[in-house]
Amino acid sequence: MPQLLGSVHRLGAFTAAALSGALLVLSFPLWGHPGAAWVALAPLLVVLHSTRSTRLAFGLGLTTGVVHFAGTLPWLTQVMTEFGGLTLPVGVLLNGLLVAYLALFPAAFAVIVVLLCTRFGGWALLSAAPVWVTTELGRLWLFGGFPWELLGYSQTSVLSVAQLASLFGVHGVTLLVVFINSALALALVGPREHRARVLAVATGVAGVVVLFGAWRLTDNRLVRDGTPLRVGLVQGNIEQADKWDPAMRTTILNRYLDLSRQSAAAGARLIVWPESATPFSFEDVAAGEAVRQLARDTGTYLLFGSTQRRRDPAPQLFNAAFALRPDGETAAVYRKMHLVPFGEYVPFRSLLFFASPLVETIMDFSPGASPVTLKVGSHRISTAICYEIIYPGLTRSFVRRGSQLLTTITNDAWYGRSAAPYQHFQQATMRAIEQGRYLVRAANTGISGVVDPYGRVLTRSALFETAVITEEVRLLSGFTFYGRIGDLVAYLCLTLSLTGVLTAWRTRV
């Protein structure tokens, strides 16, 4: 009978862990709702509270992570099979390896929470928030990082909550969400006499955050400050299969030229094309002169993505963004710094013998060396290329170098109509709130749009439509509190977590 009860308990524990993973999936687009995030980790935390085995804790956290990332990232299999030349089984295997790696972070979270609860008692459940932020920092930096959909992004559309990012970044929003989860869990399993107090404190903290967010949104000063600039976004809507077809080169280029002239006629002074918009390496092909002539004819600044080749001292290929002045000359070139694994380079290439089509198809890009800003008249702007926009520190470095407008250019055609384009747009929106800047996003097949400094989406395109968006933004100076301190709060969480673990470990030894 004790064995049977133990098996039932373990089954219930793993069911709760899987439920947390499912609720995490349902916290993000396309099918999710931000409300799910406020309770997503509570089932896992409830079972961790009564767990004393770090091995069991690891298994529970791993279960949560596998369900979470398998449900959030299924579109990666589609990318690798459709565009990487892999068979479906190999694509599933590679995606599974990534999911398994990412699941190690919730597993580490669970182990640390159990270790702290064992040493300091049930109240240590409230340590879950800084510990979770610590594991997300690990996901941000280890092996180049893969910080897709950190938990704080779930609140991007809840504007009164998302304003917290202007103080402490997306990690600050994560800290709040996990704290509420831990308070709910403690109210369910903690001492009865303290449950009301715990819920009251959690409600108070959330209330203060909402009041701050409401005040910031009402204040609204950033939409009145700064210098106005009319920006045009061109969504060429080029199928991925057509993008590098030599027979389509003239058609693709003419589409961008024609749409840009429409935007210039509507008053755009800066026109933005997506990542790799030119169907050729801009500096190496005579057709690039047509792009320079467009700038001269319209008297506009142009920002667009293209590849750049360098052969000194060794051959290098960059994913780059070019800024042209109205005289057609190149004002600046930014080279992408954070490259996409399995898209722009293959990590552990020699070990992935079973994925030879992908390894042979992908030519490794070289990373750029510095966060270059781009001059538009007397002002400076910046651009993050595709996946880079999910790195908050990079965007902050642009602003610290004088960027008054955030832009991001991307090609999300790889993702089809999956959740990925919506998740990508959501994460880009958070950068506007963090830095107190307008953000404009040009995407090949969508979603293109303009976001104000409070995270309000002023306009956006649909997926897989040819579109031109012309909208007024404002070039802003000054820094948010987060712009000044960066991820200090997140690193304080790391310090607290490490201190707690070391203390608990010494006690055990």
DSSP 304-365: EEEEEEE-SSS-EEEEEEEEE-TTS-EEEEEE--SPPBTTTB-TTGGG-GGGHHHHHHPPPP
CA distances from 420 to 147, 210, 235, 391 (A): 14, 28, 17, 16
* Residue 470 phi, psi dihedral angles, 5° rounding: -120, 120
Instruction: Name the nearest CA neighbour of 125 among 82, 75, 187, 169.
Output: 187
- Left (φ > 0), alpha (ψ -120 to 50) or beta: where does 195 sit? alpha
Tally the C-alpha atoms within 13 A of residue 260's C-alpha that lie toward its C-beta: 29
CA distances from 468 to 9, 60, 233, 439 (A): 57, 48, 6, 16
Strand order in the sheet with 270-272: 330-335, 316-324, 301-310, 270-272, 227-235, 467-475
DSSP element (H, E) containing 67: helix 54-72
Where do we find the tokens 């349902």? 26
- Left (φ > 0), alpha (ψ -120 to 50) or beta: where does 469 sit? beta
CA 8 to chain CA mean position, Å: 39
Catalytic residues: 275, 336, 386
In angstroms, the CA 464 to CA 281 distance is: 24
Residue 441's contacts (CB-CB under 8 Å, 6 or more residues apart) are 233, 389, 407, 408, 409, 410, 425, 428, 447, 448, 449, 450, 451
Cis check for the bond before 30: say yes or no (omega within 30 of 0): yes
Helix, strand, or coil (residue 185): helix
Instruction: Name the nearest CA neighbour of 205 among 170, 161, 154.
Output: 161
The first and second tokens of residue 240, run together, are 């991925």
Where do we find the tokens 């057709």? 287
Helix, strand, or coil (residue 13): helix
Angle at 332 between CA 330 and CA 338, to 5 degrees: 135
Q: Which amino acid is at 84?
A: G
User: DSSP code of 126?
Assistant: G
Those residues of the chain that have pLDDT short of 50 are 1-5, 356, 359-361
Pairing type for strands 374-376 and 330-335 reads unpaired
The first and second tokens of residue 292, run together, are 């320079």
In angstroms, the CA 394 to CA 389 distance is: 8
DSSP bridge pairs for 441: 408, 449
Q: Give long-range contacts, CB 8 A cutoff, 24+ apart: 494-498.
A: 494/130, 494/133, 494/134, 494/137, 496/127, 496/130, 497/112, 497/127, 497/130, 497/131, 497/134, 498/134
In angstroms, the CA 95 to CA 92 distance is: 5
CB 17 within 8 A of CB 43: yes
In angstroms, the CA 53 to CA 111 distance is: 9
In angstroms, the CA 65 to CA 21 distance is: 6
Q: What angle do the packed helices 2-25 and 42-49 form, to 10 degrees?
A: 150
